[in-house]
Amino acid sequence: MSPNWTSIIPCHPGEGGDLAVGSVRGDEIRTFAGMTTLGQSEPIEHCPPPCYAPRMNPAADAPILFFDSGLGGLTVLGPTRALLPTAPIVYAADYAGLPYGQKSEAELAARVPALLGRLVERYQPRLAVIACNTASTIALTHVRAALDLPIVGTVPAIKPAAALTMTGTIGVLGTEATVRQPYVDDLGARFAGDKRVLRYGSPGLVTAAEAKLRGEPVDRQVIARAVAGLRDQPGGAAIDVIVLACTHFPLLAAELQAVAGPSVRLIDGAEGIARRVAELTRGQPWLAAASPGIAAFTRSAERLPPPLATLAPYGIGRIETI
């Protein structure tokens, strides 16, 4: 029987979820414990046990769970697989909720912990990665309060961008929901206070990235509008680093680079997140050989899961609809 994805997960808060958020590079990784909620939302209710105990000594076949609204989290799964080639993998995509960037803070603050709770109950992972900037900047605190499980989130790579820029002007390209979050304000104030940080929320890049992975043509106008959304702002012509603040966007790196030009550097946080996952699981047992991963998609009347051939390069061998 398929689980009820609308119910609140039956857990209490615990220390296991208050571990870390990956940044971009090994020397840039920071721990953001107790991150505050970034939108006005209703509190998540907590029920009596069972609780999810921290996986201090997980079984060798306990998977790493990757969660995103769609296929963007594959950009995080890829480098993680490279570091942990025999790690069991469950990749979960909330196709029923895609796109997250056009949803309200209150909706995501309730939806994401509920979905993750059911996924944890179903797959019993050793660690969960919220491979989605929008979900992380809005719902990470709620998820950590609900799950006794190590949680690695994804935040815009503003700190390393500030170290890389030569002009002092950084572009942050994300979803509409991510770029308006106060947490992005805080990152800019803390790590790029002496820089100009320009933001643009693209409503079309997520759809374009999903289309590209399915082998469909990319709408070049969508790419052009996204880059123009940054460049056309006052001071935007000086941008020399663009932070890809959505895990979908690296799937379009070639198209974005072609429009932005060779003088602009694109950066994202995927490799740093992979290193953080490897750090948190160091010393844990793993299978002797890689096993085919599972991709789980929430049921959507508008979108079918992609062909298995699309996911196979990431080590996925089975698709489930839940």
In sequence order, the 6+-apart residues with CB closer than 8 A to the CB of 313 are: none
Question: From the candidates 11, 47, 51, 246, which is the catalytic residue?
Answer: 246
Task: Specify the pairing of strand 293-297 against strand 64-68.
Answer: unpaired
Contact between 48 and 10 under an 8 Å Cβ cutoff? The reply is yes
**Long-range contacts, 28-37 (Cβ 8 Å, 24+):** 28/157, 28/159, 28/160, 28/272, 29/272, 29/275, 29/276, 29/279, 30/159, 32/153, 32/155, 34/141, 35/140, 35/141, 35/144, 35/153, 35/183, 36/141, 36/183, 37/109, 37/138, 37/141, 37/142
Question: From the candidates 11, 47, 51, 132, which is the catalytic residue?
Answer: 132
Residue 92: both structure tokens together: 């979960």
Would you call 132 a catalytic residue per the annotation? yes
3-state secondary structure 61-82: CCCEEEEECCCCCHHHHHHHHH
Would you call 51 a catalytic residue per the annotation? no
- Active-site residue set: 132, 246
